[in-house]
A and B are shown apart, each in its own frame.
Chain A
């Protein structure tokens, strides 16, 4: 599998470390239901059979976290962006 890193270009997937679904966002730790919210954030996944926005880390390259849109049935990658858009802008 090849991932086109927005900075480094096309690289073999083995250069990247995988985290998973990019959708869950860290809940407000001060919220009343924080424990439940964190339970969902840390554990529950849609785990779709189809397109999925995922977090990959280009460990062997630019060490940027990427959001890769990949179909879990075909492994076809349709988009790759830096997770921290602020990082690239100047």
Chain B
């Protein structure tokens, strides 16, 4: 048990139990899983990616590359959770991952023995023989060994929320610079959001020992937070990581709402995705300690000095019984002093520098700490660290320590400044990359900008906020910085112990060692991007937060350049990994997209409809009668009933657009290939609409209800597209036209009845039966009238099914009533509701084109509408439709097909081949776009396109369907199989 007897910010009155790899341990509220494991003397927590070497806890936050665990189990199992950011809760259950059978004995560790051969990118040079072996043998093995944690066993049971926030200033990070900035801007009255990734505000102040205003720094943090909380214009957001900077001042943020609980509270989300729109932002994300590259630096027990400071200061944990420090930076000395003062035994402070500030030596002496100047650690020993080999003054010495704190200086967290392509700049003075061009509206303050030392960070944060407040025309009161003594921040660049023994790692998780970088350079991969991609350096789950700079240093030396010359790879979003569930939010399962219901839906369900998803809509597919199990039987019955009596279907999903104004006729003439301006009031006309490139966009009927009032219908699929196209014509192409187009798709329920008894049925619901008499309302006529005792209605006499038919439109809220009324009125005539399947059968029998034919690849001529195209006027697409490729007689044209052997079936998707032709692309004559069994004709019928089109009618070709193993001889015929002269429509 390594918990210090006093100090820290854990709540010793709230003990928590948790388990790791099946063993039970205890911790306190305020612990992370990592601090609790260290307090319980658990050092070995994982295995590395390639060599499966033992891995411990290196860092204390988001940067952690090693201590990745599987958190929770079953459907809630989260792979690759960072122990250093997992807030401890009672009953927490975690397991080591990427190790078998156990983390302490992992058979895959044998890879380590082959490390001389498994160098950088070795796999590009081998595994090629024999040819098949890569996929059969090598790759499966590699895949099994690779990967880290396991995905959950079942759909994620938790909810994920989304929210939007807007502010004048977003402050990212709540260390000295962030708090000073938030307080200054808040006092100035700006709308401020203070986002902190940690579950506690304060940043490094939570770990540091040096007092502020003569008290522990946390006291000042608490006072500051209390004031911020009291300001209505300031919103502090804990557990909220800003992960991405997007355009227009949009920041992506992930709030971990319930990750610190066993499961989210009832109905509460697990996480919330925030989309924060901020006019300005101050990045105060601090800096993280940098590892040193030396032999065995990956051994459990070797950790960042900054982390040691946190274990001791914030979590009251002594991370080792005997701890050595290896550094080239003053800050690590301060860490050693603080740790020692808190009760952590310090074996030695080893500094690569030959000389350090006398004050440091003095302070060490005062504490009786051993110091080694000009020294370096060349190797380490132990499964978990048991000793280190120190070389100094020409001699080696082995120190028995079980902990080693390392620091080669700091890497400012410039990540977010790169999200708009800004390239970090190398700063020799602090041997680190500092922000280059930041995204618009963002400034960087404090350690993230390379400014070290508390008072400087306070001042910089406050100044940045004051300047922004001024831009908003507000004045900020001077920031009253707390009194304190700044720690020493001197350092000199030190990267790599050249005389290391054993593997000296740069990227701990991906097992990239110094020798790999040198090999990459030798093989010509000297661009930083090539180095990264060739060695996988910086591609681990920490995205190079620790590895990048040391890697660049080794690269620079090996390729005879400076780090400034090598440059660095770009950080891209997200700053820290974001769960896919949070990015998806509530749009899951059946609620992935909103479902649109037809006006008669409730009636249809009562009538036993089987529904099908049709784009955004849910529509009736067929209405099985009692005892009907085969859908084909139901569909056949529905078709026959419609053809012989009367059938009913809800067609409200068609797009409908109300057109008013003096220029509607002119507009329609330009939209449709055929002429509409001549259409008389009370009449309906079928029209075809093209894109400007000459291909068909949509078709439908448009009725002229009065001189200056028209209503257009579009296909269900193209409703939105046509409406947008129409507004384009009115607003961009011809804004001189006085036309008001209003979508009324939702306004009108439209129910179609077709069949010989359609008029008799309709008579039972219209208030004025005379108005629908054959002569009063002829085929393609339209009338505004009333039904069901005074309900406003529009009746159009047309039928997609090809019978005497009417489409009756009433306000959508009356659609269900209309369906019921029609069913009642038609009962005596055997009215039968039908669904999309029967509709499809009947439209194919009639040879009407639909989605499969109007696929955006066909012209009006292809579809047999050539004669409809008016040459007396211009219309969209007319000119481009004259291009040779569109008038080529060899183009596939629209025809019908019937099997020579009438017992055979046809399937859409079959291609057409000449008799005896080989099945090759060159021999391809066309395809069948729609096919069905026709109950009316008693054989299969198909529609499709064949090279040459109608000219081939009468020929016999093959409908070849290699995919489903059929090859059927078919006769090419006219597309209309049923009532070609349309007598039944006019009946």
Q: How far is the CB of A76 from chain B (nearest CB, A)?
A: 7
Contact A87 B878, CB 8 Å, known A2-B249, A42-B693, A57-B724: no
Asked if B357 CB lies within 8 Å of chain A CBs, one says: no
Contact assessment for B732 and A35 in the assembled complex, using a CB-CB cutoff below 8 Å: no
B277, chain A: closest CB distance, angstroms: 7
The answer on a CB contact under 8 Å between A26 and B733 is yes
Cβ contact within 8 Å between B420 and A65? no
B247, B275, B277, most chain A CB atoms within 10 A: B247
Interface size on A, residues (CB 8 A): 32
Q: Which residues of chain B come closer than 8 Å to A77, judged between CB atoms?
A: 248
A42 to B691, CA, bound (A): 10
- The answer for the CA separation of A82 and B720 in the assembled complex, in Å, is 20
* B233 interface residue (CB < 8 Å to A): no
Specify which chain B residues have a CB less than 8 angstroms from the CB of A59 in the assembled complex: 720, 724
A-contacting 9-mer, from B301-309, B527-535, B879-887 = B879-887
Q: How far is the CB of B718 from chain A (nearest CB, A)?
A: 14
Say if the beta carbon of B482 comes within 8 Å of chain A: no
Q: Provided the pairs A17-B724, A29-B879, A59-B720 are in contact, do residues A75 and B247 lie with their beta carbons within 8 angstroms?
A: yes
Which range contains the number of B residues in contact with the other chain? 20 to 34
Q: Does A30 contact B (CB under 8 A)?
A: yes
B692 engages A38 (CB within 8 Å): yes
Q: Give the residues in chain B near A57, CB-CB below 8 Å.
A: 724, 727-728
Contact A1 B248 (CB under 8 A): yes
Whether B246 sits at the interface, judged by CB under 8 Å, is yes
Residues of chain B within 8 A of A41, CB atoms compared: 692
Known A-B contacts A42-B693, A59-B720, A63-B727; A29 and B874 likewise in contact (beta carbons under 8 Å) = yes
In the complex, which residues of chain B have a beta carbon less than 8 angstroms from the beta carbon of A12? 250, 275
Q: Would you call A35 and B880 a contact (CB within 8 A)?
A: yes
- Cβ–Cβ contact A38 & B735, under 8 A: no
C-alpha spacing A2/B728, complex, angstroms: 22
A47: CB under 8 A from chain B? no
Q: Least Cβ distance of B498 to chain A in Å?
A: 43
- Nearest 5 CB-CB pairs, A to B? A2-B248, A84-B735, A84-B731, A1-B247, A29-B874
A-B contact pairs, 16 of them (CB 8 A): A2-B249, A2-B250, A19-B728, A35-B883, A39-B883, A63-B723, A64-B731, A65-B732, A76-B440, A82-B731, A83-B731, A83-B735, A84-B731, A84-B735, A86-B735, A86-B736
Q: Does B247 lie within 8 Å of A84, measured CB to CB?
A: no
| Closest residue of A by beta carbon distance from B439 | A74
Query: Nearest residue in B to A36 (C-beta to C-beta)?
Result: B879
Instruction: Report the minimal beta-carbon distance from B881 to chain A, rounded to whole angstroms.
Output: 10
Q: Per-residue 0/1 for A48-90: is the Cβ within 8 Å of any B Cβ (1 yes, 0 no)? A: 0000000101010001110000000011110000111111000
- Decide if B730 is an interface residue (CB 8 Å cutoff): yes
**Are B246 and A1 in contact (CB-based, < 8 A)?**
yes
Chain B residues with CB under 8 A of A29: 874, 878-879
Nearest CB of chain A from residue B340's CB, rounded to whole Å: 51
Contact flags (1/0) for A7-27 with B, using CB distance below 8 Å?
A: 000001100010100000010
Q: Which residues of A contact B733 (CB under 8 A)?
A: 26
CB–CB A38/B880 < 8 A:
yes
| Pairwise interchain contact A87-B731, C-beta atoms closer than 8 A | yes
Q: How far is the CB of B510 from chain A (nearest CB, A)?
A: 33
Closest to A86 in B: B735
Chain B residues positioned under 8 Å from A85 (CB to CB): 735
Which residues in chain B, 650-706, are within 8 Å of chain A measured between CB atoms?
Answer: 692-693
State the CA gap A35–B694 with chains docked (Å).
11
Q: Are A65 and B692 in contact (CB under 8 A)?
A: no
Would you call A65 and B248 a contact (CB within 8 A)? no
Contacts of A34 in B (CB 8 A): 879
